[in-house]
Amino acid sequence: LVSRKWRVRPTVLDLGDGVRIGEGTLTLAAGPCSIESEAQMESIMQHLVDNDVRIMRGGVYKPRSSPYSFRGLGMEGLRLFHQMARARGIKIITEVMQVSQVEEMHDYVDVFQVGARNTQNFNLLDALGGVDKPVMIKRGISGTLEELLSSAEYVFSGGNEKLILCERGIRTFETASRNTLDLNAVPILKEKTHLPVIVDPSHGIGIRDYVAPMALAGVMAGADGIIYEAHETPEKAASDGAQTLNFDESARLIRNLRRVYALR
């Protein structure tokens, strides 16, 4: 169902208020790795509004390698996130980690994110097949593209056709970067499926200075959009600060992404 053999026409998702994802538009989503506070959201939302970015990312349920790391503000954070975003015309993408969260989060998100660690959480995928909100599925940490497509197939076959695929880097033998952003995935997925493909260069390379070049490369490779981490003070971020852009870096990247997209 997610293949081009089933549907030739590219899938375009409409989030409302003129925000669309897919063929014909460059989707930009930026924001902190984790939602931390009202003040933090205030500053990033102002940055997004100033730069005409309509989608904000930010986790309230965080899959952390260590149980002692910051694990997110949960529903309390999401309710505030939602209230503040609504007031500014910003759409929300945030990670759902388990089946029980789907219902409680439903009314507060615009796009559910399935994280790399949950790409093959088939119960979660089944549950998301039953909702009427878009779902962005990230590629598994050691996942093949075929596995990513199978995960999308779970949601699609469950009845939810509002899907986005996200290349976020894979684990390889290379240790110079956090992950290896597999840009091969972009043209391959674009050819195999009708779904929008988004690149996450923050997790893909994991090093702030290299996020922008990889984001630009992702767009040139044919991605429908870029999702990356941004924060007013990345060095103080509760998670993933090392791969998070400050507002100057973010504003420059946004300008360059739009230029590069126009060249395609």
Residues at the interface with Mn ion (CB under 5 A): 33, 240
How many Å apart are CA 191 and CA 247, to the nearest integer?
Answer: 34
Residue 232 or 240 with smaller CB distance to Mn ion:
240
CA 116 remoteness from chain centre = 11
Smallest gap from Cβ 230 to Mn ion, in A, equals 11
Could you say whether residue 231 binds ligand PEP (CB under 6 A)?
A: no
Is residue 118 within 8 Å of residue 148, measured between CB atoms? no
Could you say whether residue 222 binds ligand PEP (CB under 6 A)?
A: no
Nearest to 25 by CA among 54, 56, 5: 54
Residue indicated by tokens 């972009």: 186
How many Å apart are CA 206 and CA 78, to the nearest integer?
Answer: 25
Residue 63 or 241 with smaller CB distance to ligand PEP:
63
**Distances 144 to 152, 170, 175, 217 between C-alpha atoms, Å:** 13, 9, 20, 21
Q: Which residue is nearest to ligand PEP (CB)?
A: 115
165 binds, among Mn ion, ligand PEP, none (CB under 5 to 8 A by kind): none
10, 63, 158, 241: residue in contact with ligand PEP (rule CB under 6 A): 63
Residue 161 or 167 with smaller CB distance to Mn ion:
167
x/- string (CB under 6 A) for ligand PEP, residues 134-173?
A: ----x-----------------------------x-----
Helices then strands, counting H and E runs in the chain, come out as 9, 10
The residues of the shown chain that bind ligand PEP, judged by CB under 6 A, are: 33, 59, 63, 115-117, 138, 168, 203
